[in-house]
Amino acid sequence: MRLKDLGIGLAGLAVLIPLSACGSSGGGTGGGTAAAGGPIAVEAKDDACGLTRAEADAGTITFEVSNKGTRVTEFYLYGEGDRIMGEVENITPGLTRRLIVEVPDGGKYQTSCRPGMTGDGIRAEFTVKGSATRQVDTNTKLAEATKSYQNYINSQVEPLVAKTGEFVAAVKAGKVDEAKALFPVARTYWERIEPVAESFGDLDPRIDAREADLEAGQEFTGFHRLEKDLWVSGLQADSGAIADRLATDVNEIATRAKTVELTPLQLANGAKELLDEVATGKITGEEDIFSHTDLWDFRANVEGSAAAVNALREVVNERDPALAKTLEERFKVVTDLLDKQHTGDGYKLYTDLSEAEVKAFAEAVDALGEPISKVAEVVAQK
């Protein structure tokens, strides 16, 4: 789950996406059941947009759009406020393309053919019959969840910038020991908000790419490049420049992260994704392959996941108290295991863990991942 896939930052998206409208799984499993009357034929011309009927039952609606005109066209179904329910583009003259749209709510919609693929197009009213139009979810608890998590992100962003700054300064001053001590600390703030950070696909690889994941010709930069310099190859001529760029990129992420608005569903999925990160990266010791400080990242991922779940706690408590209890218990198992590996000012190195200890971590993370994967559905309930 990448938050960007959920359309973060897409203006005009309802803040709370009802589940039935958020899965972009077109025909759904089984191809969807056609609404009464079967597909609707659309005849698109340069100056007309004729439909065999201008109404359908709520559910899966199929349009077969034939371009009988001379210009390339496209077809849209709009909801209220020109919200796009579905569209099919690039229909060249003589071609027929299919659009299958899930419309769960009855109400007034608009169809539009756009000859030349510009302008407002040739519009017409379209009626969807059936289930009453759903009220916008004004559940204050969910709204509060969103807000509370936003506060959490902000609380992590400031120290992320500060600690990264200290780390960068130490690297540039050639203070290797100091930089080594700051490395896992700065990363902690990063790892707590990793799903948010990853939603900025342009910055994330520059800041956090692992050497093993690089593509041919891709420059190795960011935290892990400096990690390699500090622990393995010694500071390089360009370490300072790499450090400067890291500071710049982290500042940029911080600025952007403050503007991210997450839906409750995205919170739930983000909590799950943080656990996936632990299971595939940290438990295997692949994240911090040079410094072996994986347990710091592990802890931070778990804390970030817990923060997302906590933001939703009241909703989950209300709708599925048994799940809330399970989550609490299993989070505790994981954090207790982590506490056992606490040493002085941090954690035992990954390479000092026995196979049995790693296995215990893996099992606890699996046990926690399962109930976390059920939170999204609970949040999406109406």
Partner 1 sequence: MSVSRRGLFGLAGAGVAVAGLGAAAGVLATGEQRQDAAVPASSVVPFRGQHQAGIVTPAQDRMHFVAFDVTTKDRAELVALLRAWTAAAERMTAGQEAAEGGAVGGHREAPPADTGEALDLPASALTLTIGFGPTLFDDRFGLAAKRPEALIDLPRFPRDDLDPRRGGGDICVQACANDPQVAVHAIRNLARIGFGKVAVRWSQLGFGRTSSTSTGQATPRNLFGFKDGTNNLKAEDPAALAEHVWVTGGPEWMVGGTYLVARRIRMHIEIWDRTSLAEQEDIVGRAKGSGAPLGQRDEFDQVDPHVRGAGGAALVAEDSHIRLAAENLDGAKILRRGYNFTDGSDGFGHLDAGLFFVCFNRDSRTQFVPMQQALSSRDRMMEYLEHTGSGHFACPPGLADGAFWGQRLFD
User: Interface residues with partner 1 (CB under 8 A)?
Assistant: 1-2, 5, 7, 10, 12-13, 21-32, 62, 74, 83-91, 97-102, 212-216, 218, 269, 272, 276, 279-280, 283, 355, 358-359, 362-363, 366, 369-370, 372-373, 376-377
In angstroms, give the least distance from the CB of 128 to partner 1: 14
Q: Which is nearer to partner 1, 102 or 303 (CB)?
A: 102
Q: Tell me the helix, strand and coil percentages in the chain, rounded to 5.
A: 55, 15, 30
Packed helices 294-311 and 355-372: angle between N→C axes, nearest 10 degrees:
20
Cβ atoms < 10 Å from Cβ of 241: 12
In angstroms, how far is CA 352 from the centroid of its own chain?
33
> 47 in helix, strand or coil?
coil
Residue 371 near residue 275 (C-beta atoms within 8 A) = no
Q: Which is nearer to partner 1, 10 or 132 (CB)?
A: 10
* 115 CB-contact burial (10 Å; exposed 0-12 / middle 13-18 / buried 19+): buried
Q: Which is nearer to partner 1, 171 or 306 (CB)?
A: 306
Q: Of the candidates 98, 88, 91, 52, which has an alpha carbon nearest to the alpha carbon of residue 68?
A: 91
Q: Which is nearer to partner 1, 36 or 84 (CB)?
A: 84
Q: Which is nearer to partner 1, 10 or 237 (CB)?
A: 10
Q: Which is nearer to partner 1, 100 or 143 (CB)?
A: 100
Residue 95 near residue 67 (C-beta atoms within 8 A) = yes
Residue 275 near residue 301 (C-beta atoms within 8 A) = yes
Report the distance separating Cα 292 and Cα 348, nearest Å. 9
In angstroms, give the least distance from the CB of 36 to partner 1: 17
Q: Which is nearer to partner 1, 325 or 359 (CB)?
A: 359
Q: Which is nearer to partner 1, 197 or 230 (CB)?
A: 197
Residue 137 near residue 18 (C-beta atoms within 8 A) = yes
Tokens of 184: 């896992």
Q: Which is nearer to partner 1, 179 or 315 (CB)?
A: 315
| DSSP, residue by residue, 144-205 | HHHHHHHHHHHHHHHHHHHHHHHHHHHHHTT-HHHHHHHHHHHHHHHHHTHHHHHT-TTTHH
In angstroms, give the least distance from the CB of 155 to partner 1: 28
Tokens of 143: 């709204």
Packed helices 355-372 and 264-277: angle between N→C axes, nearest 10 degrees:
160
In angstroms, give the least distance from the CB of 213 to partner 1: 5
In angstroms, give the least distance from the CB of 276 to partner 1: 5
Tracing tokens 């936003």 back to the chain, one arrives at 150
Packed helices 140-172 and 176-192: angle between N→C axes, nearest 10 degrees:
170
Q: Which is nearer to partner 1, 76 or 183 (CB)?
A: 76
